[in-house]
Amino acid sequence: MIKKYREQFNKDFSEEKYQQFLSGLGQGYPDLAFRVAETPIFIPADLKEMLVTAGNEIIEFIKDSAFKALTRDAIPLVWEVPNENDHPHFLAFDFGICKDDAGQLVPMLIELQGFPSLYGFQLHLAEQYIKGFELDQTLTPLFNGLDRDTYIELLREVIVGKHQPHEVALMDLDAIHQKTAIDFFITADLLGIKILSLTDIFKEGDQLFYRENGVNVRLKRIYNRLIFDEVAEEPEIFMDCFDPRAELDVEWVTHPNWFYRISKYTMPFLKSKFVPETWFLNTLDTLPENLHDYVLKPLFSFAGMGVIIDVSRADIDKIEDPENWILQKKVQYEPAVISPSGGVKAEIRLLYLWPDGQEPRLCINLARLSRGKMIGVRYNKDFDWVGGTVGLMEP
């Protein structure tokens, strides 16, 4: 996208450099369980400005005093967790990179999350791209004047808070075997916190503990990476550890309810030139005639599961719970990243940190490249110049 960097990168690229880059990226960490693209994205200043503006509009909506009331039905009763706090600690907004009628690249919102993403890995990934491909040292994945040290300090403030690192744990289901485990290990290295699986944690009274060297250690803060969808089919798992829905003397970063409040459920309420038309399916008295221009998404799923890309009336007629689905106008991705074999579609995720008592801050980004119908592994098998990456910007 920044022409001078793209042309130079493609000129200097080789498969050997790419393999050396991957080796450096994974050195000392678990094997990568997802594909990392051959290239970063070089985000131009005008696109960066539009991304920031689009993000700010969504932030203002989330900060509105009516937001909680508006999203009260977003949380499935079976997964509601008590003692919700005033705001999420993490925000992630996914924008497809498109082209407007004037031929300018513009971001269009695809999804949003009140849930953490790869805050540790993305910093590491950017550093490895710059080092491995000998890129301009001034390029950065960070926003708002942050550098490596100030970003890590902000990450520490949000995740560790006022506690000691050993009192804080990154928690997921079978954590060390998750596809994103490399991010967990990088985060633990940066902050000194524990990595624990759900079943490593047990409850005594209303307090949580884990065992280390034969000693029970009190857990005071959970950096939550567990998505309840992953345990929906086996709720008995909580019998072997603790149930997050119990009354607990523990701090959540971020509280699990925000996963549902800030999600596809929020999309129909957003009105912006950066947000495609979106409706709750049960609110539509008349369906659009051009259904092929829309996608149908279940509210309570993740990683693209259940999405119907080529919608027909028959698909809609089969749905028994239309209140749990949204109909969203398709976003036409522009193949804006030029690879040696043609254009590749891109998606950029803005990642925010929201410390207690402060304002949310746009910090870093995550990007993905695609040649398939959708962004995601299952739609990009057997392609090159696709996968996870990061946007680099001029300071």
Q: What is the pLDDT of residue 385?
A: 95
What mean pLDDT value characterizes the chain? Answer: 94
Q: What is the pLDDT of residue 383?
A: 83
Instruction: Name the pTM for this structure.
Output: 0.95
Q: What is the pLDDT of residue 161?
A: 97
Least confident of 14-28, 62-76, 222-236: 222-236
Task: Place 377 in a pLDDT band, splitting at 50, 70 and 90.
Answer: low
Q: What is the pLDDT of residue 130?
A: 98
Share of the chain above pLDDT 70, in %: 97
CA proximity to 91, closest of 77, 107, 109, 73: 109
User: How far is 193 from 195, CA to CA, in rounded Å?
Assistant: 7
The pair of structure tokens assigned to 272 is: 């912006």
Least confident of 201-210, 269-278, 284-293: 284-293
pLDDT digits (tens, 9 = 90+) for 305-343: 788 988 999 999 999 999 999 999 999 999 999 999 999
Distances (CA, A) of 194 to 197, 222, 242, 373: 10, 10, 17, 38
pLDDT digits (tens, 9 = 90+) for 142-185: 999 999 999 999 999 999 999 999 999 999 999 999 999 999 99
**pLDDT exceeds 70 at position 380:** no
Q: What is the pLDDT of residue 175?
A: 94
CB atoms within 10 A of CB 334: 17
Residue 71 sits at the vertex; the CA angle it makes with 67 and 77, to the nearest 5 degrees, is 145
368 touches 387 (CB < 8 A): yes
User: How far is 310 from 308, CA to CA, in rounded Å?
Assistant: 6
Angle between helices 148-159 and 119-132 (to 10 degrees): 160
pLDDT digits (tens, 9 = 90+) for 11-31: 999 999 999 999 999 999 988
Distances (CA, A) of 294 to 194, 256, 271, 290: 43, 30, 17, 8
User: How far is 69 from 73, CA to CA, in rounded Å?
Assistant: 8
156-193 burial code (b ≥16 CB/10 A, e <16):
bebbbbeeeeebbbbbbbebeebebbbbbbbbbebbeb
390 touches 367 (CB < 8 A): yes
Share of the chain above pLDDT 90, in %: 87
The pair of structure tokens assigned to 385 is: 């110049």
Residue 232 sits at the vertex; the CA angle it makes with 230 and 236, to the nearest 5 degrees, is 110
Q: What is the pLDDT of residue 299?
A: 87
Task: Place 43 in a pLDDT band, splitting at 50, 70 and 90.
Answer: very high
Residue partners of 147: CB distance under 8 A and separation at least 6: 140
Q: What is the pLDDT of residue 305?
A: 73
